[in-house]
Amino acid sequence: MNYPVLQTYPLGFPWQTQDPFLFCVYHLDHYPKGNGEMGPDSKLLEGRNIGNDFTLKDGWRMYHGSTIPGFPYHPHRGFETITIVNKGFCDHSDSLGAAGRFGEGDVQWMTAGRGVQHSEMFPLLHDDKENTLELFQIWLNLPKADKFVEPHFKMLWHEDIPVVQEENAIVKVIAGNYKGNQANHPAPDSWAAKKENEVAIWNLHVDAETMFTLPKAGALVSRTLYFYEGSEIHFGDKKVNRSFGIVLDASQDIVFKVGKQPAHFLMLQGKPIAEPVAKYGPFVMNTDEEIQQAMDEYRLTQFGGWPWPYPDHVHEKEKGRFAKYTDGRIVEKS
């Protein structure tokens, strides 16, 4: 058996990924109490580059938000976003009229396809305690044949996501199949929608000082384990510290031992699309000419315009978790 660890590297911002993924960002912000208007109860102008605040100060960032943290409206074309909110909340609004508030374990799967605008804001709903946000956003590529599919917005509510409780671990199955536990269907035009592509997204929590085994996948599948919380893990006599990405040989079972602190991981796996990738900001195509076309079309059409009153639109503070779909259907959660 070959050594299962092919490469390790320190995690930056964003996280480096392998085809079919484009990148992944991990947000951990310990926001303070809210100010009653879903912003931080803090003097924002003190030491922050408002509108472009990516520097961690006092444990949190405003990103592109000016009064509420988050990302006001911006376009996407040619790929998908999978947004996992483990802690806190995200308010979604888009150019198709879809909207939602999701969090506390919910996942949003959005296919940008031919083009969509959306905003992702992080409302601070609690005025009496801190508003911690923990969020992953994964960019999953679309093959050339599907770059111009219709945009699609799908919610995977945490109540419906398979969570496998093992003796020493918990595995949240967001995409793919873990030991017979099949995830919910992804967006219909996703690379993940085809079983043969073996796309898997798992969030793993493993107890301290225990052994864990990742089951093998196909030989042609890329697999990366992102170690984002804990102390260290051991593959035989090789130690890997927290905040490292670990590229693995997916064709064999992967056994590792966790150190003195519980370890938390995100695992991304899938068959590579193996096509040229041209990227510019929020556009991902196959050629530079297609990128230029996307930019020209966005300038002309705004991908349908913006039907909401503000670029950084958020929903009513008292609103619970919900999704409003483009057909007018509304799903509300407690």
d(CA 152, CA 11): 30
Angle at the Cα of 242 (from 241 to 248), degrees rounded to 5? 75
Burial 73-107 (b: 16+ CB within 10 A, else e): bebbbbbbbbbbbbbbbbbbbbbbebbbbbbebbb
Provide the sign of the torsion angle of the four alpha carbons 48, 50, 51, 57, taken in this order: positive
Cβ count near 157 (within 10 Å): 15
pLDDT of residue 70: 98
Q: Residues 98, 103, 106, 110: is their CA dihedral positive or negative?
A: positive
Six-digit token string for 266: 């995100």
CB neighbours of 46 closer than 8 A, spacing ≥ 6? none
Single out the residue of 274, 140, 245, 275 nearest to residue 200, CA to CA: 140
For the four alpha carbons of 297, 300, 306 and 312, in that order, the dihedral sign comes to: positive
pLDDT tens-digit profile of 233-270? 999 999 999 999 999 999 999 999 999 999 999 999 99
**Tokens encoding 256:** 């590792």
Q: Is 218 helix (H, G, I), strand (E, B) or coil?
A: coil
Position 250 scores a pLDDT of 95
CA torsion angle for 161, 187, 86, 5 (degrees, to 10)? 90
Residue 44: predicted pLDDT: 80
From the number of C-beta atoms within 10 Å of its C-beta (0-12, 13-18, 19+), residue 330 rates as exposed
DSSP letters, 301-332, are HGGG---SSSTT----TT--SEEE-TTS-EEE
Question: How many whole angstroms separate alpha carbon 70 and alpha carbon 62?
Answer: 6
Q: For position 1, what pLDDT does the model report?
A: 55
Which residue positions in the chain have pLDDT lower than 70? 1
Q: Which of 72, 69, 66 is nearest to 95 (CA)?
A: 72
